[in-house]
Every structure is written in structure tokens, then in C-alpha cells.
């Protein structure tokens, strides 16, 4: 049961990250490695605000989002204005953020066990009936993830969101519409990394600590979630792609948990992750053409 | 009035592949003119359109619109008053968006792309009325992704989208070349109707000499970065496709192909 809950919690937390990766990878066609830095960036902001500064925990959510958005904006500016290749722009930001994250958090490991957070505070305790207290994390994470998903769905239907979809689809048309396509890409990268940092913010509060290494491989988790989600529900029209991405993230976490449960050494888990990722990619690519000839 | 004055354009300057395409190239297009442009492959037709739209820069020269030099203006700023349709049907529309979404995003050109709803439900009927005269059945498919349409359907939609908002110039680059002859005919007739209705200054590059003679109020032939033939409306009326074909073949032979 505890394992099941933990899979759900982590799956949905990383689901928010996957929403961000969905924007860059699927919509903008931009392999954004900034994620490995912006995920811990959100976490670092959070522990600093809760631990160091003693600020209310709810403030961390908008703060992390805005911080992440600024980081994404920098990646976008490096790519668009300085004309650095997409992959390299992300790598530069990711590398630089490592130091910035340490600097914000103070050290590579910061615990906030004794502090109130979005899951553990007097408001939640007063509002939630006692029989649900065991599920408070999963409920709150569910609500935040749902809100993030619906906000993104809403944004995608606005005029600005239409441009974002258009720039990934066919950037020539964005220029024809009299809009600077570079600006649209920067906006997309900002929203994406805002979501990623928000994910890191919730992760730090669920884990009740910050660890500098949590960013390593974050982009892989996001990519795997997006690919699992979008390929499983490729044909399903009743489910929105944002929902499928979040479900993909939960499934991915379930696979990893299963591997751990099966007794695979914690040190070997990265290798398992890589193998799993490869497997998903191979399964999800349409190979009808190959069979045909 | 659109004027290209002493345009010089080199591709790959400073390398062994340097190509001097335009040297002191000049062209004047009056308001409401419908210019058909023909010319051999590589004569610089697409490059000329790209220069007008700001998609590529020039080495020297001026581009004047109503006397104002726009050489330094960014492509997306310039294209606010230009509608453009490309040879490749996938360039003028967004394949991952529906017909309705495509038309909505196109109609917003010139206005801010803010956080208001992307689709204005009150406009759907108006869009249907625009699609109906095309006779392609698109008015009943507003909710389907444009990527699933045929090339002709997409090109018709692209033309509609390019001319939905007030524009000063319509730029067409072999926009019927990728279509089958029947569809090409439909798109060409649609083009003519749109140009007449909107009275928009139009430059149409075409590979089809018959279209060039039949449509438009002026005919230009380009060769190796120069205008080698420029026929006004009356001169053009006396011209027939065979004569143009004769001139066209002559320059092609001189060129050795
Ligand atoms: N991006 C480019 N880089 C280098 N050479 C180019 C480029 N675009 C066009 N050219 C060259 O310029 C010449 C004119 O090309 P283009 O304008 O496409 O001709 P057209 O549209 O009349 O067929 C060709 O010789 C072509 O090789
Ligand atoms: Mg061409």
C-alpha cells in the first residue's frame, strides 16, 4: 500500500515535469536539457524559502514556477538571440544551474523535516477528515497536478497558445502571421521550465529535503513519461494528451518501482532506466513500414 | 508602390561556392498590379520573393514601399502586410491544428496574440461561408486536422488564410506547382477571384506559361538574375502562350539545358 501510494505520488509529481517536457519535446521539438537544472532549481528555491527564510509553504509554488520560467527564458534567449544550438543551450544552462542551485540551497543536502510544508500544515489538518490523513499527500499532489494540467490545457486554447502550437508545427507560418517566432519559442521554454521547477518544488516538500543530485536524469524521466503516455494513448481520442503524459509518468514510476521490488540493486537502477527507456522507444516507434518490406 | 532598387545579392560570399545572383537588380510594382513571373530554374524568382519578404537579406540596395526603405525591417514585421503562399502546401498551414484553429489564428494576424480564447465561436459561420465557394467540402470538416487534407485542399486553405486580413501584397511562389492539373486550375481560379475581390498588389511566380499569359496584368520573365522581358497589360493581351514559350526555350537553349 505504501509502495502503491509512493508510486502514485511520485508519478504525479513527475507528471508535472513531464508536462513541461511535453511542451519542449513534442510541441517545440526542442531537446531541452535545462530540465536537469530547473528541476532541482525549483527544489532549491523551496528549501531556501521554507527552511532558511521561514516563509509560508504555499508561496513556494508560484515562486518556483516563476523561477523556473526565468531559467527557461534564459535558455530561450541563449538559443534565439545568441544563436546557440538547442541542445547546447540546455547544456549550458544545466551546467550553470548546478552551481546556482548549491548557492540557493546553501549546501548539496538540506533537510526540512521539522518545517511545515504544503502537505503538513495546520490548514490541511483542520480541513481533512482524519481517515483521509494517510492519503493527504496523494490528494494534494493530485489536486496540484490536475490544476497544472487544466491550466496548460486552457493556455493551449488561447491565442498565445495557438501560436505556441503553430511554431512547433510550422514556424514559417508564425513569421507570416507577423510574429517573432523566436519570442514564441522563448515563451514556450519559459512555461515548460516553470512547470519543471514547480515539479521540483513539490518533490522537495514530499521528500522533505533537497539533494543536489535529484536533477540528474530528470529529463530522461520526463522524456520517458511523455513517450509512454503519448504512445499508449495515441489512438484514444477521449483522453487529452496532457492527461496521457501524466499517466505515462505514473506508469514509468510504477515500472521503476517494480524493478526495485524485484530486487534490483539501487546502483543498477540507472542502467535499468536506460534499458527501459530504450525498450519504450523501440516499442513505441511505428515499425509497420519495416514489416511491410 | 513596391520598388527594388540596385539590389545585389551573393550567396555563400567568400567561399568557393560563391554565387552572384543579383547585380543591380531593379523592379517596380505599382499598386493593384498583378504581376506574373516566369523564368528558368535558378533564375532567382524565389530569391526575389524572399528578398521582398525579408526571408533573406541583401548585400546592398533598397526595398521601398511607398517610398519608405524597409531593408532593415525584420521579416516578421514586414510580413504583417504581406500574404504569402508557397509551393509546398505544408508551409502555409499548421498540420497539427484543425481547419477552424488555422483560420482563427490567421484571422488574428495584426492583432495581439494574448490570453483570450483562440477560437471565436461567433466566427464559425463566417469561416464556413468563406470555405463554401471553394467547393472542396472543407466547410463540413472544420474540426479535422489540416495535416490530413490533400495538397490541393491545404493550398486552397493557405490561400484563404493568407488573404483573410487586410494586406498590401500577395506573394505567390509556384503555388500550383505541387498540385495535379485539375486542382491547380481550381486554385488558380480562386487566386484570380481573391486578387480581384481584394484588389491586392500581387506577385505570382509560376512555372505554367499559360497561367502567366492568362492571368495577371503584367508579365515578367527572369533569367540569371535579370528581368529579360517585361510586358504590360496591353502588350500581354496581344501575346500568346506559344510566343512566350518560344522566348523561354531560346533562353533555356542559350543556357545549355
Ligand atoms: N540558400 C541558398 N544558398 C546558396 N545558393 C542559393 C540559395 N538559394 C538559392 N540559391 C541559388 O540562387 C539561384 C537562384 O535560386 P532561386 O531563387 O531558388 O531560383 P528560382 O526560384 O528562380 O528557381 C540558384 O542558382 C540557386 O542555386
Ligand atoms: Mg523557385
Note the ipTM here. Answer: 0.91
Cβ neighbours of B105 in A, within 8 Å:
159, 162-163, 166, 177
Cβ neighbours of A168 in B, within 8 Å:
96
Task: For residue B44, give the ligand 1 atom closest to its CA.
Answer: 17
Specify the pTM.
0.92
**Per-residue confidence (pLDDT) for residue A286, from 0 to 100:** 60
pLDDT at B110 over 60: yes
pLDDT tens per residue, range B8-25: 999 998 888 899 999 999
Pairs across A and B, CB distance < 8 A: 83
Instruction: Report CB contact under 8 Å: B94, A166.
Output: yes
Q: Is the CB of B255 under 6 A from ligand 1?
A: no
Range of the domain at B119: 2-255
CA of A251 to the centre of ligand 2 (A): 49
pLDDT at A191 over 70: yes
- CATH number of the domain enclosing B181: 3.40.50.300
- Give, for B75, the enclosing helix (H) or strand (E): helix B75-78
Suggest the residue from A162, A185, A191, A237 to mutate for an interface test with chain B (most B CBs closer than 10 A): A162
What total of structural domains would you count in chain B?
1
pLDDT tens per residue, range A211-241: 999 999 899 999 999 999 998 888 777 789 9
**Per-residue confidence (pLDDT) for residue A233, from 0 to 100:** 86
Instruction: Report CB contact under 8 Å: A173, B80.
Output: no
Instruction: Please report, for chain A, the start and end positions of each structural domain, with discontinuous segments joined by +.
Output: 2-214
Amino acid at each position: 500500500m505504501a509502495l502503491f501510494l509512493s508510486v502514485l505520488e511520485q508519478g504525479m509529481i513527475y507528471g508535472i515535469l513531464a508536462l513541461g517536457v511535453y511542451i519542449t519535446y513534442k510541441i517545440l521539438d526542442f531537446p531541452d536539457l535545462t530540465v536537469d537544472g530547473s528541476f532541482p532549481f525549483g527544489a532549491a528555491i523551496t528549501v531556501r524559502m521554507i527552511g532558511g527564510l521561514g516563509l509560508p509553504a504555499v508561496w513556494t509554488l508560484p515562486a518556483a514556477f516563476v523561477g523556473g520560467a526565468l531559467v527557461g527564458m534564459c535558455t530561450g534567449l541563449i538559443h534565439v538571440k545568441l544563436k546557440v544550438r538547442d541542445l547546447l543551450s540546455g547544456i549550458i544552462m544545466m551546467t550553470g544551474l548546478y552551481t546556482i542551485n548549491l548557492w540557493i540551497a546553501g549546501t548539496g543536502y538540506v533537510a526540512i523535516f521539522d518545517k511545515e510544508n504544503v502537505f503538513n500544515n495546520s490548514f490541511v489538518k483542520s480541513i481533512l477528515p482524519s481517515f483521509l490523513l494517510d492519503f493527504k499527500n496523494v490528494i494534494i499532489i493530485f489536486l496540484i497536478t490536475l490544476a497544472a494540467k487544466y491550466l496548460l490545457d486552457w493556455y493551449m486554447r488561447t491565442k498565445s497558445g495557438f501560436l505556441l502550437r503553430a511554431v512547433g508545427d510550422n514556424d514559417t507560418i508564425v513569421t507570416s502571421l507577423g510574429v517573432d517566432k523566436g519570442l514564441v519559442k522563448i515563451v514556450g521554454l519559459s512555461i515548460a521550465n516553470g512547470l519543471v521547477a514547480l515539479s521540483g518544488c513539490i518533490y522537495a516538500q514530499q521528500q522533505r529535503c533537497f539533494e543536489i543530485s535529484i536533477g540528474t536524469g530528470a529529463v530522461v524521466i520526463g522524456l520517458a513519461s511523455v513517450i509512454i503516455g503519448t504512445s499508449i494513448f495515441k489512438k484514444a481520442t477521449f483522453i487529452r494528451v496532457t492527461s496521457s503524459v501524466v499517466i505515462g509518468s505514473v506508469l514509468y514510476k510504477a515500472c521503476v518501482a517494480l524493478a526495485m521490488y524485484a530486487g534490483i540493486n539501487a546502483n543498477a537502477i540507472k542502467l535499468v532506466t536506460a534499458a527501459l527507456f530504450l525498450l519504450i522507444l523501440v516499442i513505441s516507434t511505428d515499425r509497420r513500414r519495416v514489416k511491410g518490406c | 508602390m513596391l520598388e527594388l532598387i540596385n539590389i545585389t545579392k551573393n550567396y555563400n560570399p567568400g567561399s568557393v561556392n560563391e554565387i552572384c545572383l543579383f547585380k543591380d537588380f531593379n523592379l517596380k510594382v505599382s499598386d493593384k498590379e498583378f504581376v506574373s513571373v516566369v523564368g528558368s530554374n535558378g533564375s532567382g524568382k524565389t530569391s526575389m520573393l524572399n528578398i521582398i519578404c525579408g526571408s533573406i537579406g541583401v548585400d546592398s540596395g533598397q526595398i521601398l514601399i511607398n517610398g519608405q526603405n524597409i531593408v532593415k525591417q525584420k521579416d516578421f514585421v514586414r510580413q504583417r502586410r504581406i500574404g504569402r503562399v508557397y509551393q509546398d502546401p505544408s508551409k502555409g498551414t499548421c498540420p497539427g491544428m484543425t481547419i477552424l484553429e488555422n483560420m482563427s489564428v490567421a484571422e488574428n494576424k495584426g492583432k495581439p496574440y494574448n490570453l483570450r480564447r483562440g477560437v471565436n465561436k461567433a466566427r464559425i459561420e463566417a469561416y464556413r461561408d468563406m470555405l463554401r465557394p471553394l467547393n472542396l467540402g472543407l466547410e463540413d470538416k472544420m474540426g479535422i486536422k489540416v495535416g490530413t487534407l490533400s495538397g490541393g485542399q491545404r493550398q486552397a486553405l493557405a490561400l484563404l488564410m493568407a488573404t483573410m486580413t487586410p494586406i498590401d501584397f500577395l506573394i505567390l511562389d509556384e503555388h500550383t506547382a505541387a498540385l495535379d492539373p485539375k486542382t491547380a486550375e481550381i486554385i488558380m481560379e480562386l487566386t484570380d477571384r481573391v486578387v480581384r475581390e481584394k484588389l491586392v498588389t500581387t506577385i505570382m511566380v509560376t512555372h505554367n506559361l499559360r497561367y502567366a499569359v492568362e492571368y495577371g496584368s503584367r508579365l515578367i520573365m527572369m533569367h540569371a538574375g535579370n528581368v529579360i522581358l517585361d510586358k504590360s497589360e496591353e502588350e500581354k493581351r496581344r501575346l500568346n502562350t506559344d510566343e512566350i514559350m518560344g522566348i523561354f526555350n531560346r533562353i533555356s537553349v542559350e543556357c545549355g539545358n
